[in-house]
Structure 1
């Protein structure tokens, strides 16, 4: 039952990020609401209102049909325009910033809900329109349902105004960076809060029994609660080999077990690994570093040449790296003082190397960006660090940056300014 619940939650998390999820749900609700209102009409709700509050009810069949037809036509035009705006947003974000931003923009609930409100109202008006009998008397006309359709259309108009405002904000790079940063920051703090500060060594797993993946895709979520229960029941320990968030190919080693497991137990373990075909920052914080790095690199490319955006991206990278320094490179899952699971994570050294390798390639010639990066290293060295080796990594990457800058910057005044900042790290240019 727990495994079924875990798979259901994982499936919901995947489809929730699809752009058609909320529109589909709300469109279905629109159909259901139309059926409910038609049922109430058959019970005489419009008849009652005509007798007590006639101002709220449309009592002419031709008028009701004309109103609903106009509402449906107008709303379909609004839907087409709104979907066109969404596609334009995605196209501009992909070409100007990074294609990796698309899953995050598509999963924006506000856009999905607004499009869903449109579809809700359209389907509602269509089915109410079908129920109108132009030749019937005023007591047979679903007047109150028509009124609700008019009110829903007014709500759609205000939703459209908000949609225009929101989409104009979403395309701004500062807001994109802020959203990526907030999501990654929240995810990092969650991991740090759950991290077990256990000093005991995990056994060497070289001679453990190895089991392979039966699926392919990005390793998105793992149900550690279920895995710990399996470990307790089978009296074993697990070592999860791939780093969460990377693409797993079918048949590669997925985990190791201290004890040999039967086929049924292996299948139960594998059922707690969730794979997806796209990456989300909310599931994998390292993706935020990739996205921000790609935005910086794209901003410094000759075709765009936007140092201001690159500087903003470095500011967000600096704060995220400061938070990452509070997290250990290894992750252990324990219960009742017993360590059951070890999971490989992205080393801080590999993380910052991959970031700086890309940035150095495109930014080493720009004195402003080089100064900003050196200030980033200066800030990070002063932050609280979970492991002392992190500061050695910062010194190493700062030295690499200075070496590349020396080879790329030709102006002597600029070189002297970089040397002055480099003295903060006790590093010198190579002559």
Structure 2
């Protein structure tokens, strides 16, 4: 994914962008009556009751402002509730929910549509033909509002709940891991061994790598008949002493700027190119559920089942190797051991004293082990033994520990 495309996708996820587009569409619909008036017969106005459009617009203006305010208040409450019940990282997924954004944008756009229509009517801009167009546009807007309200009411029944949060994180984590399974190195070549130490590119910003424009790096490497070896991947924290990449050719200042420009660095991690982040957030939900203030082992068990489904994607058999889109760019492979560490180590630490969570954790690791992937088998054994050692220190009854010991994978 190029940097421009990534920026456009990120921009379209912002609430104000969609609200602005709907608002502009609403204003355009109200103004359309002025433009189309010469082509509309004036005698149609009495037949369809276009004279009453002013009353309808007044009702719509007052109600849509109230509905939009209520919707925003509900969304903010849902964000706070999800953050308290799960993890603050889930809030990002709720904010960019398409249905919620469409609802607010529709209500704001409808309010501005009615407001512009009222102003134009009072100014005497519309003739008989213009009133007909405005009336038809108002009917279309009302139908859109009704459909949006029905979807919005259905969404509010589950918006921001724990189950909804887990499902959203599972969706983005599965999508990210599926992309990694299809292209283990994001379309670049796999870096084996240490990179060449010809020239390093040091970043000038501090934060998390959110996106890497591999196409830009490929173009630069091809122009210089060389190679770019990426050192940091999305999700890694970097500062102004960490090399972003290594080059096997001597770069000039312009080339260094192009390499740095290919790395988008921000204050937080992003779900898009960072498959480990989704796994980390799922583990955080389980940890929050196991905290003394919540003490919800059922949510932790549900999260373990979700992690089982998500991680199993990487163990699916491959019929053929993925295509190489960037032959001059080399990236390090994703370590399965790191994924298992992100997923299971925090849960085994927080749930060491809970027998039910310990049993589900061992069964989940057994499932990972049975998938047959060599890296999965080794990582599952390591996490199983680590969880068993933690349970030995936390469980007061020997009988409970022996139950876990019987389920644990042999080291």
Alignment TM-score, normalising by the size of structure 1: 0.85
What corresponds to 2:48 in structure 1? 56
Relative to structure 1, is the Cα distance of residues 282 and 8 closer, same or farther in structure 2, using a 3 angstrom cutoff?
closer
Q: Which of 313, 316, 319 does residue 309 from structure 2 map onto?
A: 319
- Residue 209 of structure 1 and its aligned partner are, at CA, apart by 0.6
Distance 1:378 1:94 in 2: 31
Are 1:412 and 2:407 counterparts?
no
> What root-mean-square deviation, in Å, do the aligned CA atoms of Structure 1 and Structure 2 show?
3.0
| Structure 2 CA distance for aligned equivalents of residues 44 and 158 of structure 1 | 30
Partner residue in 2 for 1:267: 257
Query: Which residue of structure 2 aligns with residue 18 of structure 1?
Result: 14
SS at match of 1:426: coil
1:373 aligns with 2:361: yes
- 1:44–1:323 CA distance, 2 compared to 1 (3 A): closer
TM-superposition CA deviations, 1:43-67 (whole Å, max 9, x none): 25261523xxx432422xxx44333
Residues 317-371 of structure 1, C-alpha deviations (whole Å, 9 max, x = no match):
112222234699xx99946xx9522223552222322333321222011111101
How much has 1:199 moved relative to structure 2? 10
> Within 5 Å, which residues of 2 pair with 1:300-315?
300-315=290-305
8 Å contact from structure 1 (residues 332, 339) kept in 2? no
- The C-alpha deviation readout for 1:154-186, integer Å capped at 9, x for no partner, is 431331232121122222322322222122222
SS in 2 for 1:340: strand
Q: 2:215 aligns with which of 222, 225, 250?
A: 225
Structure 1, unpaired ranges of 5+ = none
> 1:8-157 alignment to 2 at 5 Å?
8-41=4-37, 43-45=38-40, 47=42, 49-50=44-45, 54-59=46-51, 63-133=52-122, 139=128, 142-157=131-146
Q: Provide TM-score, normalisation by structure 2.
A: 0.89
Aligned residues, how many? 408
Which portions of structure 1, spanning 4 or more consecutive aligned residues, are displaced by more than 4 angstroms? 133-138, 196-203, 325-328, 331-335
In the alignment, is the contact (CA less than 8 A) between 1:334 and 1:340 conserved in 2? no
| Counterpart Cα distance in 2 of 1:279 and 1:101 | 12
2:182 match = 193
Q: How far off its partner does 1:138 sit?
A: 7.0
Distance 2:18 2:202 in 1: 36
**Is structure 2 residue 198 aligned with structure 1 residue 214?**
no
Q: Deviation at 1:136?
A: 9.5
Secondary structure at the counterpart of residue 234 of structure 2: coil
Task: Name the SS of the counterpart of 2:357 in structure 1.
Answer: helix
For 1:274 and 1:160, how far apart are their aligned partners in 2?
38
Assess if the C-alpha contact under 8 Å between 1:187 and 1:282 holds in 2: yes
Contact 2:290 2:350 (8 Å CA) reproduced: yes
CA distance in 2, matches of 1:199, 1:6: 17
Asked if 1 retains the 8 angstrom alpha-carbon contact of 2:202 and 2:244, the reply is yes
